[in-house]
Amino acid sequence: MRIVHIITRFVSGGADENTALTCNRQAEMGHEVWLVHGAASSERMLEMTDERVKVVPLPTLVREVDPLRDIRALGALAKIFRRIRPDIVHTHTSKAGIVGRMAALCVPSAKVIHGVHILPFTGERWPKRFLYVALEKAAALRTDAFIDVSEGMRDLCLAYALGSEANHHVIFSGMDVEGFRHAAPADDLQALRTGEDEVLIGYVAVLERRKRHRELVQSLIPVLRAHPHAHLVLAGEGPERPVLESMISQAGLERQVHLCGFRNDIANAIAACDLCVFGSEREGLPRSLVQYALAGKPIVATHLPGIERIVREGENGYVVSEQDFAAFSQKVENLVSDAARRDAFARASAALDLSEWDARTMVDRIQDVYAGVSTSGGGPRRGGRAAVGNVHDLPPQP
C-alpha cells in the first residue's frame, strides 16, 4: 500500500511516538510510507523515524487556529495527495485530522483513517466547542474508519455523533512493552536516595498547561513539607518550566522537587520511582499511565476516559476527580506514608496483562483496519507509481 500519515506536531508526545512507531513498522512491512508533519518537530522524533519513511515538513500546518495558514496547509496537502496518489490517508490529532481529511477530498479513491488520540473540544466553552464539533462532523463525512486509543475516546466520539459504532476501532497506543517491564533505574535519580526512607514520586508529561503541573505541585507542597524524605520528579520539558521553577523556589522545595527536563531514558526514569502520578484534565489514555503500570508502579491519577483499563481503584492505585486535587494529594500522602501498601500496589500493577499495548500488536491491528476498508471499497490499487520519488520532488510549500 501507499500510505500517507499526517500529524500536526511531531515532537515528543504520545500521539507523535505512536505515529512514528506505526510508520516505522509499516515501512518494515514493505509499504510505501509518507509522513507529513506540521511546523513543530523535534530532532529526537525525526531521528527515531525509519529512513525508509519519506518525511515531509509542512510549515503552514500549525496547532493553533490560524485561518490563513490553515487554508494554505489545506491547499498544500491537496497538492501532496494528488502527487502521491495514496491508497490510505491516515490523520492523527484534531487539527491535522480536520485539514487532512478535507484535503483528501481531492483523492476520492483513497481510504481515510483518523486516529483519535484526544478530543480537545471537550474542554472548550460555547461557541468554540460548537465550531470544533461542526468541523469534526464535516470531516467525519470523509472518514472510512476511526482508530481510538481507548474505549473512552470511542464513546466520546459516539456521544458527539462522530462516526458510528461500525467504523470505530479501539487500538491501544503501542510501545516497547518489554523495555518498560525490565528497565534498570536511572543512576541520577537513584542518587537522590541519600537514605533508606527516600520516596520518589514521578510525573512523566510535557510541561504544558493542560498537563496541570501547577495544580499538582501546589497540591503536593504540604505533602513534601510533611515528608522531607519524599521527592517529586518531573520528567518532561515545555513552556511551563519558568512558572514551575518560580513555584518551587517560592515554596523552598528545591531539594525535593526536581525538573529533569526531556529524557531519552524515560523507561529508566520511571523504574527509579516508587510511585507515579498523572494530573492532566483531558487526554486520551496517556501512554505514561501504561508505562507506569508496565514498570510495576503504584499510580495516582485524575480521571480520564478509559483509565479503568490501567488503574484499578484500591488495587494498584487511586483515581480521583479531575478537579479534586485535595483528594489527589491525600492519596499520594497515603502511599508515601505506607511502604507496605506501595509494595502491594506495585505487585498488582506488574501483574496486569498489558500485551495489547505492544507496538507490533498495534500496527498489526491497524493493518487489519486498512484491509477492512480497502476490501469494502474494492481494495488498494496495485498498479502505477507515485508521481514523485522523494521529498525533494514534492511541490514547494506556500
Mean pLDDT of the chain: 92
Note the pTM of the prediction, 2 decimals.
Answer: 0.84
Res 337: pLDDT: 97
Res 389: pLDDT: 39
Task: Quickly list DSSP for 130-144.
Answer: HHHHHHHHHHHTT-S
Assigned C-alpha cell, 76: 498544500
For the cut 50, the answer to whether the pLDDT of residue 391 exceeds it is no
Q: How confident is the model at residue 387 (pLDDT cuts 50, 70, 90)?
A: very low
Query: How many C-beta neighbours within 10 Å does residue 376 have?
Result: 12
Q: How confident is the model at residue 88 (pLDDT cuts 50, 70, 90)?
A: very high
- In whole angstroms, give the CA distance from residue 108 to residue 254: 57
- In whole angstroms, give the CA distance from residue 309 to residue 173: 13
Question: What CATH code would you report for 177-351?
Answer: 3.40.50.2000
Residues 288-341 pLDDT 10s: 999 999 999 999 999 998 899 999 999 999 999 999 999 999 999 999 999 999
Res 394: pLDDT: 56
Residues 100-144 pLDDT 10s: 999 999 999 999 999 999 887 776 778 888 999 999 999 999 999
Q: Are 108 and 84 in contact (CB under 8 A)?
A: no
Assigned C-alpha cell, 126: 460555547
Q: What are the distances in angstroms from CA 140 to CA 88, 90, 158, 159, 363?
A: 16, 13, 11, 14, 23
Q: How confident is the model at residue 69 (pLDDT cuts 50, 70, 90)?
A: very high
Res 377: pLDDT: 57
For the cut 90, the answer to whether the pLDDT of residue 65 exceeds it is no
Mean pLDDT across 19-43: 96
Q: How confident is the model at residue 379 (pLDDT cuts 50, 70, 90)?
A: very low
Mean pLDDT across 206-218: 95
Q: Which CATH number fits domain 2-174+358-387: 3.40.50.2000, 3.30.470.10, 3.40.140.10, 3.10.20.740?
A: 3.40.50.2000
Domain ranges across the chain: 2-174+358-387, 177-351
Asked whether this chain's domains 2-174+358-387 and 177-351 adopt the same fold, the reply is yes
Cα 125 → chain centroid = 23
Res 384: pLDDT: 36
Res 152: pLDDT: 87
For the cut 70, the answer to whether the pLDDT of residue 390 exceeds it is no
Q: Which of 132-141, 177-186, 278-287 has the lowest mean pLDDT?
A: 278-287
Cα 171 → chain centroid = 13
What are φ and ψ of residue 99, in 5° steps?
-65, -45
Mean pLDDT across 184-200: 95
Q: Is 316 helix (H, G, I), strand (E, B) or coil?
A: coil
Residues 229-255 pLDDT 10s: 999 999 999 999 999 999 999 999 999
Residue 84 or 284, more confident: 84
